[in-house]
């Protein structure tokens, strides 16, 4: 089970309910809505009704990125899949709520498998070589981030990135400026 960073519960949709002890709630009968926030997962919202019986509410969280492989004091990191690679970008870009920003200076990141960020069917090339993409494509935020203007400077990745001859396919950056 994943321990969320934050659980927000409302009674009747607008009355904030505070936990009574730790992450436990003692709720009276009624209708409730909730939101679960957890680093690396999409926020999850739902609702439930409390009657006379004790009950447990489960949330099926959808992983966006994984930082479970990261320990700040290590020298080498193994990236196994898409979620790990996105997690690396989140740490280097300072967007992970679980860890402080780390430029990976003096550290090595190794890619252990081929990784597909977007399926190739989402990219379309016309006869002139122009590329268009489908709406459902996931834009990649480069490790180190994207410059927001021609004069801005994104974060930097200062470690060693060793792909070990593996491929990263389907990478799409939606920016006029490059990191």
The CA R_g of the chain, rounded to the nearest whole Å, is 21
Q: CB of 139 within 8 A of CB of 86?
A: no
Higher pLDDT, 87 or 23: 87
Average pLDDT over residues 54-79: 88
Cβ atoms of 141 and 171 closer than 8 Å: no
Query: How many helices (H) and strands (E) in the chain?
Result: 1, 11
Q: Which residue has the tokens 């203007």?
A: 149
pLDDT digits (tens, 9 = 90+) for 106-132: 999 999 999 999 999 999 999 999 889
CA angle, residues 40, 44, 47, in degrees to nearest 5: 160
pTM of the predicted model as reported, rounded to 2 decimal places: 0.70
Per-state percent for the chain, helix, strand, coil, to nearest 5: 10, 25, 65
Report CA-CA distances (Å) from 100 to 91, 105, 141: 7, 14, 18
pLDDT averaged over every residue in the chain: 86
Check if the beta carbon of residue 18 is closer than 8 Å to that of residue 34.
no
């Amino acid at each position: 089970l994943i321990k969320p960073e934050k659980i927000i519960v409302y009674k009747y949709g607008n009355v904030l309910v505070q936990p009574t002890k730790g992450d436990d709630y003692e709720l009276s009968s009624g209708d409730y809505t909730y939101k679960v926030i957890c680093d690396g997962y999409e926020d999850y919202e739902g609702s439930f009704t409390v009657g006379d019986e004790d009950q447990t509410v489960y949330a099926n969280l959808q992983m966006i990125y994984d930082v479970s492989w990261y320990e700040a004091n290590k020298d080498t990191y193994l990236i196994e899949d898409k979620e790990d690679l996105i997690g690396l970008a989140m740490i280097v870009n300072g967007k992970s709520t679980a860890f402080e920003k780390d430029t990976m200076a003096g550290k090595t990141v190794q890619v252990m498998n081929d990784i597909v960020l977007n399926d190739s069917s989402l990219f379309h090339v016309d006869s002139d070589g122009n590329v268009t993409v489908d709406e459902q494509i996931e834009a990649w935020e480069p490790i180190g981030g994207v410059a927001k203007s021609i004069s801005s400077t994104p974060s930097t990745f200062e470690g060693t990135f060793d792909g070990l001859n593996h491929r990263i396919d389907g990478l799409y950056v939606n920016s006029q400026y490059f990191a």
